Every structure is written in structure tokens, then in C-alpha cells.
Amino acid sequence: MMEESVRWTVRVSKDTDVAVRTFLAQRGMKKGDLAKFIEEAVRWRVFDATVAETKARNAGVPEAEIEAAIDEALATVRAERFGSRRR
């Protein structure tokens, strides 16, 4: 189920339109599935760009320092979330 949705008006080339609709049709998807496809594609693109930016930003940071920061963050979250249940 989608969260509250908003309407977008976008323009794409005729070739892109045909390619996407053909792709969806070949997989048994209907016209209404176009919005779901676009939302998933946008989410993946945003995620991919975020990962690439994070990797670039941390390129000069030693791996041990990154691992230590991750371990510290995980320990903090686990303590906050599960601290009262763990022994």
C-alpha cells in the first residue's frame, strides 16, 4: 500500500514511453502499474546516488575508522532499542 500520494506531470521521449510500457506489458503489468514502477525506479536512483556520494565522501577515511563508527552507532541503537531486554 502506498503512502499518501501526489500527482506528478512528467515528460519523457516517445521511445522511453514505448520501452517502459512494452517492458511492463511483457511482464503482465497493467497501465496502473506504471506509477509503481516509476516510484520504485526513483527510490532506487535516490538510494544509488546516496550510496555513491557517501562512498566518495569517505574515500579517504581508513576502513578501520569507518568500521569503528558503524560499530559504535549499532551499539548505541541496540542499547536504546533493546537495552532493557538484553542481559
For 12-45, the pLDDT digits (tens) are: 999 999 999 999 999 999 878 999 999 999 999 9
Stated pTM of the model? 0.68
- pLDDT, residue 85, reads 59
How does residue 5 score in pLDDT terms, banded at 50, 70 and 90?
Answer: confident
- pLDDT, residue 38, reads 94
For 36-78, what is each residue's pLDDT tens digit? Answer: 999 999 999 999 999 999 999 999 999 999 999 999 999 999 9
Copy the grid coordinates of residue 23. Answer: 517492458
55-69 residues labelled b (16+ CB within 10 A) or e (exposed): eeeeeeeeeeeeeee
